[in-house]
A and B are shown apart, each in its own frame.
Chain A
């Protein structure tokens, strides 16, 4: 659904901004893994494309109505505009969008892996998993301490938290996949959930597949519309019938089973994909 929301607060969190929006109707439908697509600027803005953010957390009934919180890394004019919102500034919100994480029916041991601010959706996921009696272990990684998101929060809700940074400024120096096998062994992991940059998702999917554990990953693809109408956000995914298709990460995803994504072929159209190879094509 589309709502005229408004900014309630913008907080600086390390290298990022946490933006809380009043968006009645969105919170009520939210499940972990959903995202929102935000319009940038006003009705005559020269930036036409919505920016998509996974939902960090939601409140169904705040003082003013339902709220949605997202985490923004201000690295371009659109995200800078969002980060500079002041309370009561209007922000147009479409959401909740996408296919959320599937939760285990029985209590299970779940290991959650987040890279940078990509960890944002993992905290509500952890809450819901805990509510179902699941064991939750969290691994957070980033380039530097500043670029980690939610370490304290993770410590409050998880059975264990392991942190890695590329420069060693916090936790283990290295990548999440350097520590993941050990965490999974200790936790007796039944399911892996991951969110973050594509290279990390690929590495996490490989580790999970190597131990025969299913992984659900929320991908980050460039999205123009977020609602499934433009076909810009595709990646090659193997279907249950064994056929590879270019599928939309905004509607079929952003959550995919890690072993169905053709990671090595992301950014290409594999020759055995349905409808490939393409001779020249129109636009």
Chain B
């Protein structure tokens, strides 16, 4: 067993107490980020509104709203319902279409000094390829990574969600990957609404995903007990917020245990620096703050500060050293929790010392 690092409180920050010294740099595949805090797709629009609250350049990355080929009006209202420590949404991917996004939003984001992770969505394999191809026409340097939202119904297959089937997920990712500039990493965004998230993760990595984003919302529903009807115009919706954080931690944990070298952008219920730390300890290299932004527009930077302090208090000098740390702390016990999935053929062999991955998981593992 590992001895947990002692938690030494760091004084609260003020003008005369400097920020604790922790190297917050991270990377998602080969995309280098100055810090691990990002927005979440659909929870920050395309940056203009949040830029009134803080400079977007201070984020590790700005993840934009999933964009499809054509403009979309989205679903009828009501589009949301508050739930305990969370909310349901059914927006229906309202947006301007990829061409307007490429012409108007990407150059603006670049001018703000933001690192943009552009999220794309589609209703068919061909549309994924087409959206990615149009995105590839963006001015050089405006896209740091592409996130492929595969939690979309496949109009060509009875509306089955790509993310729920390994073959469909792989086909969507392969289409987006092959149409994207090879110098830009592609992340596949996974849905937690699956029996075995590791097999979907494996399929996506096998299809060329350079990293994974986890998790999208959890399908849910609320019924109005006065009108006796579903609350949402779209009937069902996606559950998000702190209510789903344990699901996110579990998904990241399982996938990181099975695929330790695949970088993960963690998302789901992050409200505080300690929440972000949980996702990182489970295996996330960077963390998105989604629904919490509705509660606290300045949350991404607040969480960044809290995370820095939390890392310093635990003796971490580099954020990267904390990535997946909970696995090494658990030692062999991790195997019991990872699902019994045979290793896939498509994976690089995990290296014992973490060489090449940039992570040094043994740095604090005094018991090993």
Contact = CB atoms under 8 A, between A and B. Distances in A.
Contacts of A245: 73
Interface stretch (A20-28, A55-63, A207-215, A222-230): A222-230
A234 B79 contact: yes
Contact of A282 (B97, B151, B271, B294): B151
A274 interface: yes
Contacts of A46: 84-85
B233 A279 contact: no
Interface in A224-283: 224-225, 227-235, 245-246, 251, 266-269, 273-276, 278-283
Interface residues on B, range: 35 or more
B295 A227 contact: no
A283 B45 contact: no
A234 B74 contact: yes
B44 interface: yes
Contact of A232 (B71, B77, B217): B77
A162 interface: no
Given A48-B87, A267-B77, A280-B155, A229 B44 contact: yes
B113 interface: no
A102 interface: no
A228 B77 contact: no
Interface string A178-221: 00000000000000000000000000000000000000000001
Interface string B130-162: 000000000000000000010111010001010
B292 A279 contact: no
B73 A276 contact: yes
B70 A92 contact: no
Given A278-B73, A283-B238, A227 B49 contact: yes
B98 to A, nearest CB: 13
A234 B94 contact: yes
Max count, chain B CB within 10 A of own CB: residue among A1, A48, A279, A282:
A282
Given A232-B79, A246-B73, A275-B71, A280 B296 contact: no
Interface string A38-68: 0100011011111000000000000000000
Max count, chain B CB within 10 A of own CB: residue among A46, A234, A275:
A275
B293 interface: yes
B70 A283 contact: no
Given A48-B295, A224-B87, A281 B72 contact: yes
Contacts of B260: none
Interface in B211-261: 216-217, 233-234, 237-238, 241-242
